[in-house]
Structure 1
Amino acid sequence: MDTTPLGSWNDGAAKRAIVDFVTAAAVAGSPGFVAPMDRVAVFDNDGTLWVEKPAPVQMAFVLGKLAARLEADPSLARERPYRALVDRDASYFHALNEQDPDAVASMVDAIGSAWEGTTLAQYEAEAARHLESWRHERFGVPYSGLVYQPMLELFDYLGAHGWRLFVCSGGGRDFMRVICEDTWGLPRENVIGSAPEFAWRDGVPVRRAVLHGPVAIGPGKPEYVLARTGRLPRFAAGNDDVDVELLASAQFALLVLHDDDEREYAYTEGAERAHATARREGWTTVSVKDDWKTVLKERSDEEAPE
């Protein structure tokens, strides 16, 4: 099949490994052949598809909601994460960014309570209003300008070779579904992530305060993928420690290394285990600095897949 070969990728080991794998997977009878029904590719979101520093895009939306609740009910300041908001506790938010289980659990509980009883339509409208005005503090761009152009091209390349694409993130599934079609060209049903239980009330679904299953980090990622698709991924991409289990479940694992502090950010915190596992297992690693000609580039309507 004749496809555009990842134009924003430099010709190097990472690009060659991707092309070799995808090409072999499409050739029946080759040692690397992957049957069409098994061509499932799964991507993490924060730090893999778009910029996650200085905090994930969803964080401002969540903190704004919690701040409003705290203003309405100051007694909430006695408990986490509201106490961290009042005290400006940087250590808590650092633990949250590192996806410390205790910090994450307290935030999940707060999010559940904050939107309990909200209809899906109400939640999505609230998220859309927030995203319409939100801009990145360093780059000054909306969320759509934070997406990695090389990853959009990888979506197109895999799709042209018969791969079904999914996003699986520890972030909120319903938050990502607000932007997935316009930003990634993916249907809503191909977005997997942490999500609440819903209850059917008066003819509409409303959010409950409890999660539907575990948070989609670590082992939760392949568990969610298997539950959603009935298969484990053959191709997976991630960038930090909570993606290790997802990457280990795939035939081809792609790990993004953030090492470009001029065009994006350079950091290794929260990815030490992922880097060590990549070296040990021979995963394909992508250097933002060395492997991507372009990092941030907003896709035009004409470039979106049909």
Structure 2
Amino acid sequence: MLPLLSASLRSTSALAQARDPLPSWNEGATKSSIVNFVTRGTSQGGPDFVPVDQRIATFDNDGTLWIEQPMYVQLAFALDRVKVMAPMHPEWKTKQPFAAVLDGDMKELAASGEKALVEIIAVTHAGMTTAEFEKITSEWLATARDHRFKRPYTELVYQPMLELLAYLRANGFKTFIVSGGGIEFMRPWTERIYGVQPDQVVGSSIKTRFEMKDGAPTLFRLPEVNFVDDKTGKPIGINEHIGRRPIVAFGNSDGDLEMLQWTTLGASGPRLGVIVHHTDAVREYAYDRDSHFGRLNVALDAAAVNKWTIVNMKNDWKRIFAFD
């Protein structure tokens, strides 16, 4: 009888899982707003039915799909690259902002401002082919560990959002990442981690040059900014890469404000804007208006005016990471 009982329990658990596509979400208004939106949009013959080809959902990455504190993951990658490249650049020992990185002086680095960060990104992300950059990125992600959780960054993705991505795709939505992060930094791993194919990733980019190298065609990465997919750049990136206006958008910071506005305002049909609010200092981090990374200030005020859904991580998520 025990094997039969065990099988019965597994069957019951699987059935419950099938009935609830978002098991890591607590019951309440937030979860209901998302489920109701999807249900209305996919109900054939209903007043809010959305044809499959118009079911476009966009997601910010940093702070929306994975961790962004105490700094963006791509910035952590860039700082590690400075240390790897330092033996080839002895002048960095006394030249800022590189000296601050090598000395571990994050206060000095922060004081150097955005221009210094752009300089670091340019040096560490260029001067190689796109294939070489993909290899470096993939190898770093395989070995790098977050200092607090002591886990690979690819494990610090939000389990409720993974369930949401799968839920939307199961209901005919096409899911896109629209991030201020580098498009070629993300593309090597987004399909494996999120189920989002490389051609469904929109991000910032640097310029590249086509050239023949040893008889083979290559794309060489240049230390020049091509496009910044943040703030007002996000609607532009969506228009250029996707060619359709999303009907649902998920973000977590002021950098996502314009994407949420482009998705929800001045357009016909059902629309849903969602902001992930980091409120759980115990299981993750708590931050919003005064944060250096992922600041949520103007967009938080706009959410109330525009009736966007706010996800309170502490209250709305049963667990944050798969390992919780």
State TM-score, norm by structure 1. Answer: 0.87
* Match for residue 251 of structure 2 among 238, 242, 245: 238
Aligned position for 1:285: 310
Aligned position for 2:178: 168
Aligned position for 2:278: 258
Which digits, 9 at most, give the CA deviation of each residue in 1:62-117, with x for residues without a partner? 0122234444324456765325436725264388xxxxxx60x5423432233333
Which digits, 9 at most, give the CA deviation of each residue in 1:191-228, with x for residues without a partner? 11111222111111111222222x11101111101100
Distance 1:248 1:79 in 2: 42
Give the superposition deviation at 1:296: 0.3
Give the superposition deviation at 1:244: 0.6
Does residue 226 (structure 1) correspond to residue 239 (structure 2)? The answer is: yes
Aligned position for 1:62: 78
Shift in alpha-carbon separation, 1:153–1:237, aligned structure 2, 3 A: same
* Match for residue 184 of structure 1 among 184, 191, 194: 194
Equivalent residue letter for 1:108:
V
Shift in alpha-carbon separation, 1:182–1:205, aligned structure 2, 3 A: same
2:141–2:154: 8 Å Cα contact kept in structure 1? no
Distance 2:102 2:306 in 1: 44
Which digits, 9 at most, give the CA deviation of each residue in 1:23-52, with x for residues without a partner? 111124433222221111010011100111
2:181–2:229: 8 Å Cα contact kept in structure 1? yes
Shift in alpha-carbon separation, 1:262–1:114, aligned structure 2, 3 A: closer
Shift in alpha-carbon separation, 1:226–1:298, aligned structure 2, 3 A: farther
1:173–1:192: 8 Å Cα contact kept in structure 2? yes
Identity level (%): 37
Please show how residues 37-186 of structure 1 align to structure 2 within 5 Å.
37-76=53-92, 81-82=97-98, 84-85=100-101, 88-90=105-107, 92-93=109-110, 103=114, 105-186=115-196
Distance 1:175 1:144 in 2: 13
Give the superposition deviation at 1:233: 1.4
Distance 1:80 1:18 in 2: 47
Distance 2:63 2:168 in 1: 20
2:82–2:102: 8 Å Cα contact kept in structure 1? no
Does residue 205 (structure 1) correspond to residue 222 (structure 2)? The answer is: no
Q: Secondary structure at the match of 2:187?
A: helix
Distance 1:228 1:112 in 2: 23
Equivalent residue letter for 1:272:
N
Q: Secondary structure at the match of 1:249?
A: helix
1:57–1:143: 8 Å Cα contact kept in structure 2? yes
State TM-score, norm by structure 2. Answer: 0.83
Distance 1:204 1:186 in 2: 25
Give the superposition deviation at 1:173: 1.1
Structure 1 runs of 4+ aligned residues shifted over 4 Å read 76-80
Which digits, 9 at most, give the CA deviation of each residue in 1:150-209, with x for residues without a partner? 000000110011110011111111111121111011111111111122211111111122
1:40–1:232: 8 Å Cα contact kept in structure 2? yes
How many residues of Structure 1 are paired with residues of Structure 2 in the alignment? 290
Q: Which runs of 5+ in 1 are unaligned?
A: 96-101, 300-306
